[in-house]
Amino acid sequence: MADSTTAIANGEIDQLGDAEAAIERAKREASEGVVEALYLLQDLEERGVLPLLRALIEQGDDVMRVVLELIKRQEYLGGMKNAVTLLQAVGTVEKNSLNTAMAAVSGGLEAAASTAPKEKFGLYDLLATLQDPDVSRALSFVTSFLKGMGRALGETEAGGAAR
């Protein structure tokens, strides 16, 4: 006759307890990141990005085939090279400088879009506008940009002449 079982294997219970402890520890340590990730997912959903990504993943093979066909075309190849060059150039710009410039451009576009153009805008109107501190600040920014651009062009020309 078989002996009755009096010992219970604790291995499964220990593993379950370890897993629960690991989950609790992760919740404590990463709660801010998880909350931010949930907000990000909600923003992506509201803007229609999440459904787009879902559709891209579901139709992945078809999308890749179309993208590869487009990449093979000569007219797109030059544009892609230009886009890569542009991304490399943007990558060299300091983050704070880029953020400042983009915020300024955004503010300028909003102001331009919300202001009705004047029928006549003469020289005296221009001179009066130059007295505006915001216009003066923007002109200072643009002239600094042009000075830096000119300096970089001069360095490029000097480097090109030496070759």
Contact 109, 143 (CB under 8 A): no
Helices (H), 47-132: 49-58, 60-72, 74-92, 95-114, 123-130
d(CA 85, CA 56): 26
Mean pLDDT across the chain, nearest whole number?
A: 83
The pLDDT of residue 137: 93
Tens digits of residue pLDDT in 40-49: 889 888 988 8
With CA atoms as reference, report the closest residue to 104 among 131, 145, 138.
138
d(CA 11, CA 19): 12
Q: What percentage of the chain reaches a pLDDT higher than 90?
A: 20
Tens digits of residue pLDDT in 78-115: 787 888 888 888 888 888 888 888 899 899 999 888 98
The pLDDT of residue 138: 93
Q: Is the entire prediction scored with pTM above 0.75?
A: no
